[in-house]
Amino acid sequence: MKLEVKNLRKSFSENEVLHGISFSVESGKALGLLGKNGAGKTTTIRILMDVFKANSGEILLDGKKFKPRNYQIGYLPEERGLYPKKKVAEQIVYLAELRGLSSKNAKQNTKMWLEKLGVDEYSNKTLDSLSKGNQQKVQLAQTLVCNPEIVILDEPFSGLDPINAQILKDTVKELITQNKLVIFSSHQMSYVEEFCEEIAIINKGEIVLSGNLKNIKKEFGKDRLILSANDITIDELKNIIDTKFSDLVIVNEVKKNYLIVELIDSKTKNQLLQTLINENIDIEKFAIYEPDLADIFVKKVGEK
């Protein structure tokens, strides 16, 4: 399956909050929707789920208008939607039946997911008696109980400690290998980096970067190197480069322990290395720069 979001615009009263959002994602891949608070992630997801109507734009699944009601979708909304005073297993079974599962399958799947996520011991407790992290896992069990083909998770990691975040990561990875189409929103880069093949960064209601994460990283790292030297400070190294090697390289960024430099001509990497050696600079680091997602995000959005 391929889901395509095309040029979504959304206004609340006179205020346009989405200014033409477009991205696409296919089964067997996960798309990370990234953005700061208020960027427009949840609004986009709500439009996808038909909670809100867009003012314009379209959403297609395999080229046809996407109607969420026609599919088994696992949606974990930002405002978690379960009943605090009802028993955990009972309400998941009930919601699974509402979504079309037989009573037997609803019970089986509920048991399976509560066990898998390590919250089966709370099956007969009311939801509000559980810790926030465990409530979150119950919500996730409810999201996945119907074996959905499409999984949409809005900030699924919020409130999870590292061990439970790992359980969620493993679950998402498993969904991807089962060829599900997975979309999730987050402002936590490390999670996105770990298993999203595709990303879309939203800033102030606009997509500022989208596509395959590996290609994006390659493009950002293109012709850039990390450089440091023994016996001289980073500032001294920068000075030498600025005064002597400005025909080969320019300094992009001064980090605490190294410089990020950009080759003026991508073919001159070895020449740069040779020139540094000829200058008797004792090179400590000379490596291809591999930006992490946080670096890319900061570059595109301006701040963390």
Ligand X SMILES: Nc1ncnc2c1ncn2[C@@H]1O[C@H](COP(=O)(O)OP(=O)(O)OP(=O)(O)O)[C@@H](O)[C@H]1O
Q: Does 43 bind ligand X (CB under 6 A)?
A: yes
Which of 32, 40, 74, 148 contacts ligand X by CB under 6 A? 40
- Judged by CB under 6 A, which stretch of 34-42, 91-99, 138-146, 280-288 contacts ligand X? 34-42
127 and 47 in contact (C-beta within 8 Å)?
Answer: no
Q: Does 12 bind ligand X (CB under 6 A)?
A: yes
Report, in Å, the least distance between residue 266 CB and ligand X: 37
Which of 39, 54, 144, 199 contacts ligand X by CB under 6 A? 39
Angle at 255 between CA 249 and CA 259, to 5 degrees: 20
200 and 280 in contact (C-beta within 8 Å)?
Answer: no
- Judged by CB under 6 A, which stretch of 40-48, 87-95, 275-283, 286-294 contacts ligand X? 40-48
Report, in Å, the least distance between residue 37 CB and ligand X: 3
Tokens of 257: 């322990």
* Total residues binding ligand X (CB under 6 A): 12
Neighbour tally for 279: CB within 10 Å: 11
Which of 1, 7, 17, 22 contacts ligand X by CB under 6 A? 17
Q: Would you list the DSSP string of 80-145? A: --S-TTSBHHHHHHHHHHHTT--HHHHHHHHHHHHHHTT-GGGTTSBGGGS-HHHHHHHHHHHHHT
Report, in Å, the least distance between residue 142 CB and ligand X: 20
- Judged by CB under 6 A, which stretch of 39-47, 214-222, 234-242, 249-257 contacts ligand X? 39-47
Tokens of 20: 């033409």
Report the candidate in 218, 223, 222 with the shortest Cα–Cα distance to residue 264: 223
Report, in Å, the least distance between residue 97 CB and ligand X: 30
Q: Does 80 bind ligand X (CB under 6 A)?
A: no
Residues numbered 185 to 214 that lie near ligand X (CB under 6 A) are 187
Which of 31, 32, 34, 35 contacts ligand X by CB under 6 A? 35
- Judged by CB under 6 A, which stretch of 1-9, 32-40, 230-238, 294-302 contacts ligand X? 32-40
| Residue 10 vs residues 45, 51, 61, 256: alpha-carbon distances, Å | 12, 12, 20, 42
User: Which of 37, 270 has the CB closer to ligand X?
Assistant: 37
Spatial distance between the Cα atoms of 297 and 9, rounded to a whole number of angstroms? 23
Spatial distance between the Cα atoms of 216 and 235, rounded to a whole number of angstroms? 29
- Judged by CB under 6 A, which stretch of 37-45, 213-221, 234-242, 245-253 contacts ligand X? 37-45
259 and 251 in contact (C-beta within 8 Å)?
Answer: yes
Summarize as ranges the residues that interact with ligand X (CB under 6 A): 12, 17, 35, 37-43, 78, 187
